């Protein structure tokens, strides 16, 4: 007996007639031209497509340009072929539509490993092999081929620290989380009643949970919920267990994610972040908790704050970051940070990355649309001036409705990862313990992709130094694609409020993150070329005194044993003023419908 799978579709491929109604060279389906370029702006095409769909009651969540100068629209989930066909018939009757083709799903043969019975892996297109065709996924990290290259190789344990909102006990992460720590020092912001403790669980973020109204002043709206869980699952979700999706570090055994909670109800204080960074690398400091016995070789920070990281000649927040990053590098830990998500007024990228992505020694990561051009919201990174690169982070466009409220539309597949089903409920916000895969966008999700690739490299070549690791990541890359189905401007260095544009090394880093090339390079080094084995988690204490104990980075080169030392000529009050600044995680509020929901982070 031969069984057949039901015919499924993921939306429609719609070719609109030219706006000026002139004959189109691609009007016949028989004469379709895959390389046809639309002369219409992307924004105009989006608005016209929305108008056509609205007239016929066709709903969609995702819209993106594709080959043949057409638009792909879908709801974010599979649907019966017959349902899609009926919607296609409705749209074909519209005078603004040239043609419509159902985007039927073909069942792949041998593309997905038989061991990957994880139901959402097929939706995790950011993990799949890079495509080289026009309109294809040229901006993804090429992770699946890197996994293939690692088959049969010796894999060493490696840990990535996720400094974020904390962890949740998702079954897909059983056995994958090291013992973390909670560094949210302000009790009112922690929502756990005791500030610092050894439980980095995420209680759900909402400024309304802060009982003292004075402490809520200046707090932004609640950020994307379960941000830390999403990133942890991107890295650590198990493969082949029939649960949810797959993480980048699926080939690496044992605990791979170190959850370090630094974000409370009103963002993350600089001092808490610095403490978390040092502890994550196994470094003692004055007032530190018991030493972390599973030190991280890679530290992911999907946060961004205002201000430069340049040396002003004074002890300021930038200096504190620079000093900490140097300390971490000396202990063998690479810092990877997101470049930031632009202005919340329009969600268009800014001219420079946020801090600490702008700091020397940090690998700064900005976001691409899956097709390989800069995501609308992504901040620029000058690859000629700092270590930086780009990779798919999902993409969306913000418009406003009749009431001037923002409307967010996902325009590619996004970054599909694990989240709790609990939603923003103000003071009652909490995790439900029920998990689902959701789509999200943001440089928040580009950074852990790069952090995960760095960890894969260390898994096959554990003796790599931070300098070797960082240099390899920004040199063993894929070049930025330059041709797309719709015409795009070239990204301009130093210019704010740029949306989708064609990347250059001065605007998006050195190139597109390429896991396959980077991991193969690392395996070559493991054969004997690598030098300078890294020592991590030494007994040395750092020159850092937490704000809760009265200071920032403070001791002299000769200090040891956890002592703080004098503050030299800088007054304690001045240092506190510089270091008590807060950083707020890129917020996310967009919600879609169905099995995969969209957010930005």
Give a yes or no: residue 571 inside a domain. Answer: no
Residue 572 has pLDDT above 70, yes or no: no
- Residue 551: pLDDT band (50, 70, 90) is low
Q: What is the mean pLDDT of residues 109-122?
A: 54
**191 and 56 co-located in one domain:** no
Q: Which token pair is 399? A: 């418009």
Residue after which a domain boundary falls, among 92, 107, 122: 107
Give a yes or no: residue 595 inside a domain. Answer: yes
pLDDT at 265: 84
Q: What is the mean pLDDT of residues 131-139?
A: 93
Spatial separation of the C-alpha atoms in residues 423 and 413, rounded to whole Å? 21
Q: Could you tell me if 518 and 473 are in contact, meaning their C-beta atoms sit under 8 angstroms apart? A: yes
pLDDT at 333: 97
- Residue 59: pLDDT band (50, 70, 90) is confident
For residue 460, give the nearest of 363, 529, 361 by alpha carbon: 529
- Beta carbons within 8 Å of 496's beta carbon, 6+ residues apart: 343, 348, 349, 350, 351
> For residue range 76-95, what is the model confidence (pLDDT) as tens digits?
556 787 888 899 999 999 99
For residue 378, give the nearest of 415, 419, 357, 348 by alpha carbon: 348
> For residue range 502-535, what is the model confidence (pLDDT) as tens digits?
999 999 999 999 999 999 999 999 864 333 333 2
> For residue range 396-410, what is the model confidence (pLDDT) as tens digits?
998 888 999 888 889
Give a yes or no: residue 121 inside a domain. Answer: no
> For residue range 11-50, what is the model confidence (pLDDT) as tens digits?
788 889 887 655 444 333 333 333 345 678 878 888 899 9
Q: Among the ranges 30-39, 151-160, 447-456, which has the highest mean pLDDT value?
A: 447-456
**354 and 404 co-located in one domain:** yes
**334 and 209 co-located in one domain:** yes
Give a yes or no: residue 134 inside a domain. Answer: no
The rounded percent of the chain whose pLDDT value lies above 70 is: 78
- Residue 162: pLDDT band (50, 70, 90) is very high
pLDDT at 61: 76
Spatial separation of the C-alpha atoms in residues 356 and 338, rounded to whole Å? 8
**24 and 154 co-located in one domain:** no
Give a yes or no: residue 129 inside a domain. Answer: no
- Residue 344: pLDDT band (50, 70, 90) is confident
Lowest average pLDDT, out of 134-138, 208-212, 315-319, 554-558, goes to 554-558
For residue 406, give the nearest of 354, 486, 343 by alpha carbon: 343
The rounded percent of the chain whose pLDDT value lies above 90 is: 52
**76 and 213 co-located in one domain:** no
Residue after which a domain boundary falls, among 91, 107, 123: 107
pLDDT at 573: 23
For residue 183, give the nearest of 102, 108, 52, 289 by alpha carbon: 289
**171 and 288 co-located in one domain:** yes
Q: Could you tell me if 128 and 144 are in contact, meaning their C-beta atoms sit under 8 angstroms apart? A: yes
pLDDT at 367: 97
> For residue range 385-397, what is the model confidence (pLDDT) as tens digits?
999 999 999 999 9
- Residue 219: pLDDT band (50, 70, 90) is confident
pLDDT at 527: 63
CA separation, residue 514 to residues 132, 440, 445 (Å): 13, 21, 16
Instruction: Let me know the angle formed at the C-alpha of 318 by 316 and 319, rounded to the nearest 5 degrees.
Output: 65
Spatial separation of the C-alpha atoms in residues 251 and 258, rounded to whole Å? 17
Q: What is the mean pLDDT of residues 146-154?
A: 92
Q: Could you tell me if 303 and 587 are in contact, meaning their C-beta atoms sit under 8 angstroms apart? A: no
Q: What is the mean pLDDT of residues 180-188?
A: 90
Residue 597 has pLDDT above 70, yes or no: no
3-state secondary structure of 385: coil
CATH code for position 522: 3.40.50.200
pLDDT at 532: 32
Give a yes or no: residue 137 inside a domain. Answer: no
- Beta carbons within 8 Å of 303's beta carbon, 6+ residues apart: 163, 164, 262, 263, 268, 273, 337, 338, 354, 356, 583, 585, 586
Q: Could you tell me if 466 and 472 are in contact, meaning their C-beta atoms sit under 8 angstroms apart? A: no
Q: What is the mean pLDDT of residues 165-182?
A: 96
Lowest average pLDDT, out of 2-6, 231-235, 428-432, 489-493, goes to 2-6
**97 and 222 co-located in one domain:** no
- Residue 268: pLDDT band (50, 70, 90) is confident
CATH code for position 62: 3.30.70
Q: Is the peptide bond before 356 cis (omega within 30 degrees of 0)?
A: yes
Give a yes or no: residue 27 inside a domain. Answer: yes
Spatial separation of the C-alpha atoms in residues 319 and 280, rounded to whole Å? 20
Q: Is the peptide bond before 71 cis (omega within 30 degrees of 0)?
A: no
3-state secondary structure of 204: coil
Element spanning 473, H or E: helix 466-475
Q: Count other C-beta atoms under 10 Å from residue 217's C-beta.
A: 10
Total-model pTM: 0.74
The alpha carbon of 242 is separated from its chain's Cα centroid by a whole number of angstroms, namely 24
Instruction: Let me know the angle formed at the C-alpha of 344 by 263 and 269, rounded to the nearest 5 degrees.
Output: 20
- Residue 104: pLDDT band (50, 70, 90) is low
Q: What is the mean pLDDT of residues 459-477?
A: 97
**Strand 435-441 versus strand 598-600 pairing type:** parallel
**70 and 199 co-located in one domain:** no
The average confidence (pLDDT) of the chain is 81
Q: Which residue has the tokens 């490696």?
A: 158
CA separation, residue 287 to residues 185, 201, 329, 541 (Å): 12, 22, 22, 10
The better pLDDT of the pair 206, 221 is held by 206
Residue after which a domain boundary falls, among 107, 131, 166: 107
- Beta carbons within 8 Å of 4's beta carbon, 6+ residues apart: none
**32 and 155 co-located in one domain:** no
> For residue range 189-203, what is the model confidence (pLDDT) as tens digits?
889 888 899 999 999
- Residues paired with 407 in a beta bridge: 399
Q: Could you tell me if 338 and 365 are in contact, meaning their C-beta atoms sit under 8 angstroms apart? A: yes
Element spanning 8, H or E: strand 8-16
Residue range(s) defining the domain that contains residue 70? 8-107
**169 and 76 co-located in one domain:** no
**406 and 262 co-located in one domain:** yes
- Residue 5: pLDDT band (50, 70, 90) is very low
Strands of the 363-368 sheet, one edge to the other: 181-182, 257-261, 160-164, 298-301, 334-338, 363-368, 388-392, 512-513, 477-478
> For residue range 294-324, what is the model confidence (pLDDT) as tens digits?
999 999 999 878 888 999 888 888 888 999 9
Residue 556 has pLDDT above 60, yes or no: no
Residue 450 has pLDDT above 60, yes or no: yes
Residue 105 has pLDDT above 90, yes or no: no
- Residue 346: pLDDT band (50, 70, 90) is confident
Residue 396 has phi, psi (to 5 degrees) of -150, 160
- Residue 115: pLDDT band (50, 70, 90) is very low
3-state SS of 428-441 is HCCCCCCEEEEEEE
Give a yes or no: residue 51 inside a domain. Answer: yes
**429 and 355 co-located in one domain:** yes
Lowest average pLDDT, out of 30-44, 261-275, 323-337, goes to 30-44
Residue 571 has pLDDT above 60, yes or no: no
Spatial separation of the C-alpha atoms in residues 257 and 233, rounded to whole Å? 9
**Strand 160-164 versus strand 477-478 pairing type:** unpaired
- Overall number of domains in the chain: 2
Lowest average pLDDT, out of 12-21, 22-31, 131-140, 581-590, goes to 581-590
Q: Which token pair is 289? A: 């908790």
Q: Where are the alpha helices (DSSP H) in 300-407?
A: 317-330
DSSP secondary structure letters along 101-141: EEEEPPPPSSSS-TT---TTGGG-GGGSPPP-STTS--SS-
b/e per residue 432-464 (b: at least 16 CB within 10 A): eeebebbbbbbbbbbbbbbbbbbbbbbbbbbeb
- Residue 554: pLDDT band (50, 70, 90) is very low
pLDDT at 389: 98
End-to-end CA distance of the chain: 48
pLDDT at 60: 82
């Amino acid at each position: 007996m031969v069984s057949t799978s039901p015919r499924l579709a993921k939306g429609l491929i719609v070719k609109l007639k030219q706006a000026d109604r002139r004959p189109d060279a691609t009007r016949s389906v028989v004469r379709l031209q895959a390389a046809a370029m639309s002369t219409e702006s992307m924004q105009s095409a989006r608005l016209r497509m929305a108008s056509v769909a609205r007239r016929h009651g066709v709903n969609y969540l995702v819209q993106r340009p594709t080959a043949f100068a057409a638009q792909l629209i879908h709801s974010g989930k599979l649907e019966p072929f017959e349902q899609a066909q009926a919607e296609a018939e409705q749209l074909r009757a519209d005078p603004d539509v040239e043609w419509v083709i159902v985007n039927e799903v073909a069942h792949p043969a041998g593309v997905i490993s038989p061991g990957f019975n994880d139901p959402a892996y097929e939706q995790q297109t950011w993990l799949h092999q890079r495509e080289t065709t026009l309109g294809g996924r040229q901006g993804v990290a090429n992770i699946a081929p890197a996994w293939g290259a690692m088959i049969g190789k010796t894999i060493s344990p490696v840990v990535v620290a996720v400094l974020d909102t904390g962890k949740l006990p998702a079954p897909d992460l059983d056995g994958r989380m090291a013992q973390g720590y909670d560094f949210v020092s302000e009790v009112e912001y922690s929502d756990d009643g005791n500030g610092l403790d050894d439980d980095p669980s995420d209680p759900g973020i909402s400024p309304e949970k802060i009982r003292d109204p004075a402490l809520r002043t200046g707090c932004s709206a609640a950020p994307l919920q379960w941000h830390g869980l999403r990133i942890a699952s991107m890295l650590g979700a198990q493969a082949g267990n029939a649960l949810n999706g797959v993480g980048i570090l699926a080939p690496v055994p044992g605990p791979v994610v170190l959850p370090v909670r630094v974000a409370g109800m009103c963002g993350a204080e600089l001092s808490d972040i610095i403490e978390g960074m040092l502890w994550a690398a196994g470094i003692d400091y004055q007032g530190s908790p018991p030493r972390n016995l599973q030190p991280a070789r890679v530290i992911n920070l999907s946060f961004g704050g205002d201000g430069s990281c340049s040396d002003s000649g004074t002890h300021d927040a930038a200096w504190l970051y620079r000093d900490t990053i140097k300390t971490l590098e000396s202990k063998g830990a690479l810092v990877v940070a997101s470049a930031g998500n632009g202005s919340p007024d329009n969600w268009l990228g800014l001219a420079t990355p946020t801090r600490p992505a702008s700091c020397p020694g940090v690998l700064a990561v900005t976001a691409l649309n899956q097709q390989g051009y800069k995501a609308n919201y992504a901040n620029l990174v000058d690859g000629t001036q700092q270590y930086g690169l780009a990779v798919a982070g999902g993409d969306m466009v913000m418009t406003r409705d009749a009431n001037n409220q923002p409307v967010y539309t996902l325009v590619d597949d996004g970054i599909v990862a694990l989240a709790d089903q609990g939603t923003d409920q103000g003071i009652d916000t909490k995790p439900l313990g029920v998990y689902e895969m959701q789509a999200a966008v943001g440089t928040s999700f580009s950074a852990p992709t790069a952090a995960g690739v760095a960890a894969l490299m260390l898994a096959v070549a554990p003796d790599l130094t931070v300098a070797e690791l960082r240099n390899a990541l920004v040199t063993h890359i894929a070049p930025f694609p330059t041709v797309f189905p719709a015409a795009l401007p070239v990204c301009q260095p130093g210019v704010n409020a740029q949306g989708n544009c064609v990347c250059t090394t001065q605007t998006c880093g050195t190139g597109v993150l390429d896991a396959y090339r980077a991991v193969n390079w690392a395996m070559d080094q493991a054969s004997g070329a690598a030098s300078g084995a890294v020592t991590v988690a030494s007994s040395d204490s750092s020159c850092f005194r937490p704000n809760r104990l009265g200071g920032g980075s403070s001791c002299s080169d000769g200090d040891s044993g956890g002592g703080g030392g004098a503050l030299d000529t800088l007054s304690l009050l001045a240092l506190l003023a510089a270091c008590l600044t807060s950083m707020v995680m890129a917020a996310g509020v967009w919600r879609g419908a169905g099995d995969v929901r969209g957010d930005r982070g």
